Amino acid sequence: MEEKINKNSNLKKELKHTNLKNTDKRKLQAGEKEKSSEHCPYAKKCGGCDYQGFSYKKQLEKKQSYMRKLMEPFGKINPIVGMDNPYHYRHKVQAAFSCTKRGHIVAGVYEKHSHDVVDVEQCQIEDEQADAIIREIKNMMRSFRIRAYDEDTGYGLLRHVLVRKGYHSGQIMVVLVLVSPILPSKNNFVKALRKKFPEISTVVINVNDRKTSMVLGERNITIYGKGFIEDELCGCTFRISPTSFYQVNPQQTERLYKKAISCAKLTGKETVIDAYCGTGTIGLIASSKAKKVIGVELNRDAVKDAITNAKRNNIHNVTFYNEDAGKFMVEMARNGQKADVVIMDPPRTGSDEAFLSSVVQLAPEKVVYVSCGPDTLARDLKYLTKHGYRMKECSPYDMFPFTRHVEAVCLLLKER
């Protein structure tokens, strides 16, 4: 009890020095009080938030100490960068739709270890407007005679709804994942939905007729707007399509990318490789500070988006390649090509030895490793530090409050 009171007064002191709105400060303090009395009402069934019940300060401490244990053998660990307000940060929200035995439509997440849907009306980490749109779609289904898809019988139409919102642009994309490409009265449906939420700038039907746990199918049909939204990140504009990878926490992403680019200390003379580049975000943001940037990415659609993003931002010193990053780098090294900086942002599974050994052969002065999987980061750092690199610093970022995930930027320098 005493611990709780102390922490709450510490939080009060901490909040005093932030530039948060008073309502946000009150929310944060309420969140702190909630920890032992009122948990998220869905916590037990949903299981999405591993750190449910811990104050935000405690969550950051846990992540910091985990990173310290894992990374300290390699070098300096900076304090974790947390959020000013750790609630409602997810700008991509996904809800599975289903129907109970009594005929009630439910929308939310799958219950832990099952395919029963937990009916989530409001989630503390999801964007509130996105949740409101999903609630509205649930309400509209009866009058539009749209049935939720039933996995067992195969009847019904609507499987999932995905909402993506641009943090700076405010543009909203609604993706209706259907078993068939036909949505009855689609124009009236869009009209009714936009009447409540005029911020919706595009509505897409995604057709997923397979028996699969994957949310999205391959075919997209735009029924309103352009079929994508745009948002700004660190001064560049990016296209976000229904299937393209785009970080879900825009505020922390800006901080993470700024750190990744600033720690490379670019002067305008460097050749930079943006490996695992996705839609080109990091490389395009870095391009104004480099001589040239080479982006490599395995996903063909992501590369198409990256090329569009380069044009959209009038950037001419970036080239994108649709290849396996490891193979591409091995080829570069074999051809005697050089790079000054390699920025790498692999998936949670980390990199592989083909890629890491080609980094060693290319011998850039700096490697900036952006990681969303601390364990695989440690594994890959073991390789790099055995082969002529040393870690100068590691900066953890909290991109996913209330979950156990930690993102980090590590700067490695070539030993002389």
Contact residues for ligand SAH, defined by CB under 6 A: 245, 247, 276-279, 281-282, 296-299, 302, 324-326, 345-347
Task: Round to whole Å and give the CA distance between 188 and 186.
Answer: 5
CB-closest chain residue to ligand SAH: 278
What is the tally of helices (H) and strands (E) in the chain? 12, 17
CA atoms within 13 A on the CB side of 192: 13
Q: DSSP labels for 277-296? A: -TTTHHHHHHGGGSSEEEEE
Nearer to ligand SAH, 28 or 282 (CB): 282
Instruction: State the nearest-atom distance from the C-beta of 227 to ligand SAH, in Å.
Output: 20
Q: Which residue, 221 or 330, has its beta carbon nearer to ligand SAH?
A: 330
What's the min distance (Å) between Cβ of 407 and ligand SAH? 10
Nearer to ligand SAH, 205 or 298 (CB): 298
The rounded distance, in Å, linking the Cα atoms of 205 and 180 is 9
Buried b (16+ CB within 10 A) or exposed e, 64-82: beebeebbeebbebeebbb
Q: How far is the CB of 99 from ligand SAH (least distance, A)?
A: 34
Burial of 21 (0-12, 13-18, 19+ CB in 10 A): exposed
By C-beta, is 80 or 261 nearer to ligand SAH? 261
Residues 272, 260, 14: CA angle, nearest 5 degrees: 170
Shortest distance in whole angstroms from residue 384 CB to ligand SAH: 17
Residue 297 CB, nearest approach to ligand SAH (Å): 5
Answer yes or no: 372 catalytic. Answer: yes
Question: Is the CB of residue 260 less than 8 Å from the CB of residue 368?
Answer: yes
Name the burial class of residue 300, with classes exposed (0-12), middle (13-18) and buried (19+) by CB atoms within 10 angstroms of its CB: exposed
Among residues 40, 46, 99, 372, the one annotated as catalytic is 372
Q: State the catalytic residues.
A: 372
